[in-house]
Chains A and B, each alone.
Chain A
Amino acid sequence: MIKARVIVTLKNGVLDPQGKAIEGALSALSFSGVDQVRQGKVFDIAVEHDDKAKAEADINAMCEKLLANTVIEDYKVELV
């Protein structure tokens, strides 16, 4: 069993209205000094086999085909 974590974040330059709203809420809670918040997604994926190279290749393909919209998002795959 191999476990992986996929982190999907918005590309630089893509407006993140939800991140902006979170920034506003943090400042409403009196947290000072927050320059920027960008919201993303995390996917924890477990695969059945123990072939690390195959798992990494498969999960990268999953990101390209479904988990990330590469028009607006970047992704990072970490085997854990």
Chain B
Amino acid sequence: MKTAVILLPGLNRDRDMIAAITHISGEPPVTVWQTDTTIPDVDLIIVPGGFSYGDYLRCGAIAARMPFMKALKEKAAQGVKVIGVCNGFQILLEAGLLPGALMRNASLKFVCREVELEVSNASTAFTSGYSQGQIIRCPVAHHDGNYFVDDATLKTLQDDNRIAFRYANGTNPNGSIDNIAGILNAEGNVLGMMPHPENLIEHAHGGVDGRALFESALGLVAA
């Protein structure tokens, strides 16, 4: 399985993501610069976290209009798996690959802490390494993670099992509607999530709860 990691000015979690993919798959990902108009043949494309373009205008708004996005949309339409983490999630929303928007945290504070996530759907390409309803630990670090979507779309997400992760046990750090931490597109090959699973993949991190997400996406989970 080959992976590509998108690079944009202002991202700061790209190296963590590259390290996580290298560690888990045994192969370093290819990197794609924002102005590249093609993405190599890969099985998984990741948009990492950070503060692309300094969060100017709206988080992810400028990044979502850069040339790489056209290629990413084509790959996603072909069924290539895509993960957006944190700013990457914001970018996928701004690009229209996922529904809804991420607003300023309800507390107005930047949150940098560990939360608990419920695996709300373990039957996805990204969560098959977890069990349904499993509670995992995961770090968050963001200022604009307050997921908002209109009522009709929320109902669609709920009815179609497109909510992959929810903040669990009262740990919602940002006021997200329905405790939503991560969602899927209708086809199930695009995942966006605010928490950082790439920062909990080896024992040196103090836990490995994020590992199964990448193992699932990379096809390393025994069926």
Contact = CB atoms under 8 A, between A and B. Distances in A.
Given A69-B94, A69-B101, A71-B101, A15 B106 contact: yes
Contacts, number: 37
A6 to B, nearest CB: 12
Contact of A72 (B101, B107, B108): B101
B139 interface: no
Contacts of B2: none
A45 to B, nearest CB: 14
A17 B94 contact: no
Contacts of A21: 108
B87 to A, nearest CB: 15
Contacts of B93: 71
Given A17-B146, A17-B175, A66 B104 contact: no
Interface stretch (B24-32, B44-52, B57-65, B187-195): B57-65
B123 interface: no
- Which secondary structure dominates where chain A touches chain B? helix
A17 B105 CA distance: 7
B103 A17 contact: yes
A18 interface: yes
Interface in A14-52: 14-15, 17-18, 21
Interface residues of A, number: 11
Of the candidates A14, A66, A69, the one having the most CB atoms from chain B within 10 angstroms of its own CB is: A69
A66 B56 CA distance: 12
Contacts of A65: 65
A80 to B, nearest CB: 22
Interface of A: 14-15, 17-18, 21, 65-67, 69, 71-72
Given A15-B103, A69-B94, A72-B101, 13 more contacts: A14-B103, A14-B148, A15-B106, A15-B148, A17-B106, A17-B107, A17-B108, A18-B104, A65-B65, A66-B57, A71-B149, A72-B103, A72-B148
- Which 8 pairs from chain A and chain B are nearest by CB? A71-B101, A72-B101, A17-B104, A17-B108, A17-B106, A21-B108, A69-B101, A69-B58
